[in-house]
Amino acid sequence: MIPPQEASARRREIEDKLKQEEETLSFIRDNLEKSDQLTKNMVSILSSFESRLMKLENSIIPVHKQTENLQRLQENVEKTLSCLDHVISYYHVASDTEKIIREGPTGRLEEYLGSMAKIQKAVEYFQDNSPDSPELNKVKLLFERGKESLESEFRSLMTRHSKVVSPVLILDLISGDDELEVQEEVVLEHLPESALQDVVRISHWLVEYGRNHDFMNVYYQIRSSQLDRSIKGLKEHFRKSSSSSGVPYSPAIPNKRKDTPTKKPVKRPGTIRKAQNLLKQYSQHGLDGKKGGSNLIPLEGRDDMLDVETDAYIHCVSAFVKLAQSEYQLLTDIIPEHHQKKTFDSLIQDALDGLMLEGENIVSAARKAIIRHDFSTVLTVFPILRHLKQTKPEFDQVLQGTAASTKNKLPGLITSMETIGAKALEDFADNIKNDPDKEYNMPKDGTVHELTSNAILFLQQLLDFQETAGAMLASQVLGDTYNIPLDPRETSSSATSYNSEFSKRLLSTYICKVLGNLQLNLLSKSKVYEDPALSAIFLHNNYNYILKSLEKSELIQLVAVTQKTAERSYREHIEQQIQTYQRSWLKVTDYITEKNLPVFQSGVKLRDKERQMIKERFKGFNDGLEELCKIQKAWAVPDTEQRDRIRQIQKKIVKETYGAFLQRYNNVPFTKNPEKYVKYQVDQVGDMIDRLFDTSA
């Protein structure tokens, strides 16, 4: 049971809490009443605002609609006025632009094209809206006149600014490909930049608005003429350089004159002049072969103009490729894409036809030269053909997209040159074999025959054109003529398909054939000489000349490809001819050899018959020695080494034999006048032999 005091305290606490709760409840009721009053006031305000807003809307909407209609009417009026102004402007186009069109576009192309654009729009307007109006005819006539002026300006710009490319610049352009060091690229400026921009603008306008492609014909005609003249100018440059300096400009000989390019000229080893230089070189070493005649025209006597023409043509071919490439780059900026190939085809025709015609003329000249056995002229085909083959990939790239007839011109020329070159090689070999044995053409001193020197020089010239000559032979016969065993890896069904090894073997066999024909002909010619010794000297000189010439060049390595023993064979032939020559001295030494001497006893007086026999021996030796020395002094052995060797061998034999003879009869009283018979001492005999083969002695 709770104590009374605690219950009283508990009751007071509860009463206090109840009182607080009642106060709180009274506060809440007061606030709720205030909130309700505020809500009623707000609802009243909003209702009033809504009522006023509806009244405002009902009064504004009609005004807005009326304003919108007024704005639409204003816009229509403005558009109508604008259209009227636009239409009226077309009626003034003719009068506004007539003066500009009449004066032409020169110097003010932008303004002129702007006027043409106005005229074009006027034409379109009248065609669409008033096709029967006189204004249409006016603007049409003005448009046509303006178009003609633009075409005329196009022609004028192309004519005024298209210049022939100078030969010096062309040579710089060609030599630029062969520069090892990095140099500034040579750029051709066919048209000044300002003129080019005008030409491009006019061409684009004529295509887009003028609907006229006649300007393309104008373009290719003008540029074709410049291209053709540039190449002809280069050719003329070579001729003038040749005539003024006496030495034709050759790409293998750097020329430092001011009118030649500053860059390194195109290197084209193996010019025909190289063979002539070899001839001079061998002449200095005693291997000259000038005295023997032949029906082959001598190589060293050929006209230097052939070199000029060859160099000029080769450079013109390279020039055509470079200039054509540059022309195509220019053309792509001016001519529409779908007309570029056709226009370019027409543009290059004159220059290309000129090159092809000149090439065919070279073939024709070579054909005529073969008939008259002038094989030095035929040699001009070799460097040209090699260059054409080297240039063909660039040619094909430049002519890509042109007509088939255009693309086939160069292959046709190459085929013609290969055919004539193969015929020249075959005819040369046949002429070496069949060169007649004319007595009056034979060298009187037994020196090297001109046929030999010509044959060697011709073969040496082929060294620089091994692949070209091999291609000539392979394209015609593919080894059948020379009985070369063919490796399937080296050939195919195509006659021109071969590798360098096969080409080398084919050319080696051909050279061996020529050398074989030459040897047979020399043997035949040697029979013209009545004296076997002179015949031997003749063969010796020619064989030695051939061997030394082969050794001094790469011919010996080329011959060894198919004939391993060629060098040894020639040395054996040379030794054989020396031995044959030595037999000519037997009629001298036979008088004094021991086996032919009379036998006598020492201290016994000689009989008359014995004395007479000794006298005859001395006289026979003396007469024979004098006769041989007199005759053989006029003979020639151009090779100093061989000449000294032959003298030394003969001198040793004769001196030993004569010395033994003198020693045997020096103290024998076979005559009262020993000086009459003992005319020469041993050393004197040696001196006489030392003067053999020396016309100056």
- What is the predicted pLDDT for the residue at 696? 67
Digit-coded pLDDT (tens) for 24-61: 998 898 888 888 888 988 888 988 888 888 888 787 88
Rounded (10°) angle between helices 337-371 and 381-398 = 170
pLDDT class for 280, splitting at 50, 70, 90?
A: very low
Q: Does the pLDDT value for residue 499 go beyond 60?
A: yes
Q: Does the pLDDT value for residue 343 go beyond 80?
A: yes
- What is the predicted pLDDT for the residue at 83? 63
Q: Does the pLDDT value for residue 387 go beyond 90?
A: yes
Q: What's the average model confidence in pLDDT over 613-641?
A: 92
Q: Which of 53-62, 432-441, 515-524, 594-603 has the lowest mean pLDDT?
A: 594-603
Average pLDDT, the chain: 82
Question: For the chain, what is the largest distance between any 2 Cα atoms, rounded to a whole number of angstroms?
Answer: 213
250 vs 452, more confident: 452
Q: What's the average model confidence in pLDDT over 662-684?
A: 85
Query: How does 325-359 read in b/e, with b if 16+ C-beta sit within 10 Å?
Result: ebbbebbeebbeeeebbebbbbbbbbbbebbeebb
Q: Does the pLDDT value for residue 489 go beyond 60?
A: no
- What is the predicted pLDDT for the residue at 129? 84
User: What percentage of residues in the chain have a pLDDT greater than 90?
Assistant: 46
pLDDT class for 265, splitting at 50, 70, 90?
A: very low
pLDDT class for 94, splitting at 50, 70, 90?
A: confident
Q: Does the pLDDT value for residue 285 go beyond 50?
A: no
User: Of 546, 656, 660, nearest to 597 (Cα)?
Assistant: 660
Cα torsion through 564, 570, 575, 579, rounded to 10: 130
Q: What is the pTM of this model?
A: 0.72
Q: Does the pLDDT value for residue 305 go beyond 70?
A: no
Digit-coded pLDDT (tens) for 432-450: 998 887 777 899 999 999 9
pLDDT class for 246, splitting at 50, 70, 90?
A: very low
Under 8 Å CB-to-CB from 280, ≥6 apart: which residues?
A: none
Digit-coded pLDDT (tens) for 161-191: 998 999 999 998 888 655 444 455 677 888 8
- What is the predicted pLDDT for the residue at 488? 37
Q: What's the average model confidence in pLDDT over 272-289?
A: 43
Helix (H, G, I), strand (E, B) or coil at 577: helix
Q: Which of 449-458, 500-509, 633-642 has the lowest mean pLDDT?
A: 500-509
- What is the predicted pLDDT for the residue at 565? 92
Digit-coded pLDDT (tens) for 213-226: 788 999 999 999 99
d(CA 489, CA 4): 138
- What is the predicted pLDDT for the residue at 86? 59
How far is the CA of 439 from the CAs of 283, 527, 602, in angstroms? 24, 10, 55
Burial tier of 391 (Cβ tally within 10 Å: 0-12, 13-18, 19+): middle
d(CA 119, CA 146): 9
Q: Tell me if 417 sits within 8 A of 359, measured CB to CB.
A: yes
- What is the predicted pLDDT for the residue at 683? 93
Q: Does the pLDDT value for residue 160 go beyond 50?
A: yes
> What number of other Cβ atoms are within 10 A of residue 493's Cβ?
5
Q: Which of 62-76, 294-308, 542-556 has the highest mean pLDDT?
A: 542-556
Q: Does the pLDDT value for residue 290 go beyond 80?
A: no
Task: Kindly report the backbone phi and psi dihedral angles of residue 491, in degrees, each rounded to the nearest multiple of 5, phi listed first.
Answer: -130, 170
- What is the predicted pLDDT for the residue at 44? 86
Q: Which of 24-28, 345-349, 479-483 has the lowest mean pLDDT?
A: 479-483
d(CA 375, CA 114): 68
Q: Which of 59-63, 322-326, 540-544 has the lowest mean pLDDT?
A: 59-63
Q: What's the average model confidence in pLDDT over 279-292?
A: 43
Q: What angle do CA 176, 220, 173 make, to 5 degrees?
A: 5
- What is the predicted pLDDT for the residue at 496? 42
- What is the predicted pLDDT for the residue at 604? 64
pLDDT class for 532, splitting at 50, 70, 90?
A: very high
How far is the CA of 615 from the CAs of 361, 448, 591, 656, 682, in angstroms? 75, 41, 11, 20, 18
Residue type, position 219, single letter: Y
Q: Does the pLDDT value for residue 284 go beyond 50?
A: no
- What is the predicted pLDDT for the residue at 303? 47
Q: Which of 202-216, 289-303, 356-370 has the lowest mean pLDDT?
A: 289-303
**How many whole angstroms from its chain centre is CA 474?**
22
